A = this chain, B = another copy of it.
Amino acid sequence: MVKNTPQSDPTTDASGPEPVPRRRARETRESEILEAAFEEFAAAGYAATRLEDVARRAGVAKGLPSFYFESKEALFKAVLRRVVLPDWDMLEARFEQSDERTAEALRRLIAAVYERLVENPRARRLLRLLIAEGPRFPELTEFYHAELVARALALLRRLLARGVERGEVRPGPALEYPQTIMAPALMAALWQLLFAEHHPLDLARFFEAHLDLVANGWAPG
């Protein structure tokens, strides 16, 4: 679930044939179902996903998702509440403490977003899910706003404010809308989601273009 820790990959904990253990830790099963559900929901959207497909992907019987979760809707919500980028806390703390120059800090912050969102297929699918199902599940939108968006913007705002104090950032209307500074990353994420197959993007160069533009603008001198 948009977690980057490699050991969480269920396909890699290989330990022999293991002929379908009938009973596992409740939590393990639940996680496997949530994991499978995330993939299915992300691939087809809420309405078009069939619980049976979730079950098949999780390698369990048709009825098990309904056994673990009250309803399809409850499963969906549970999926999305688990996904949140789990290392955001740490990231925030690191930036809070650091005292590097604004240019460095911004580069690092934007790089973190590319790593976690733009270059992470699962995070991109989550993004799609949130956009697609927003009207049906407004609480989720709000949840993600509070947990991710608002916090990221606040962090960016603090960084910029400090930069202004230090004379490293030019005061301007964009400071009030830090979204603008991050926007190219969102553009890249959506590009990947929509067009990557036929119109690939060189993310490394896009990233540099992003940094250059938001730092210096297109206007000369």
Contact = CB atoms under 8 A, between A and B. Distances in A.
A168 interface: yes
Contacts of A195: 141, 145, 149
A92 interface: no
A4 interface: no
A10 interface: no
A120 interface: no
Contact of A194 (B134, B191, B194): B134
B198 A142 contact: yes
A21 interface: no
A219 B170 contact: yes
Interface in A152-200: 160, 163, 167-170, 172-177, 179-184, 186-188, 190-191, 193-195, 197-199
Interface range on chain A (Cβ under 8 Å from partner): 35 or more
A44 B193 contact: no
Please report whether the interface of chain A is mostly helix, strand, loop or mixed according to DSSP: helix
Nearest to A150: B199
Contact of A181 (B134, B179, B208, B218): B218
A78 interface: no
A182 B210 CA distance: 11
Most buried by B among A133, A173, A221: A173
Contacts of A208: 173
Interface in A111-146: 128, 130-136, 138, 141-142, 145
A91 interface: no
The 7 closest A-B pairs by CB, nearest first: A132-B132, A47-B47, A47-B48, A183-B183, A174-B213, A217-B217, A183-B187
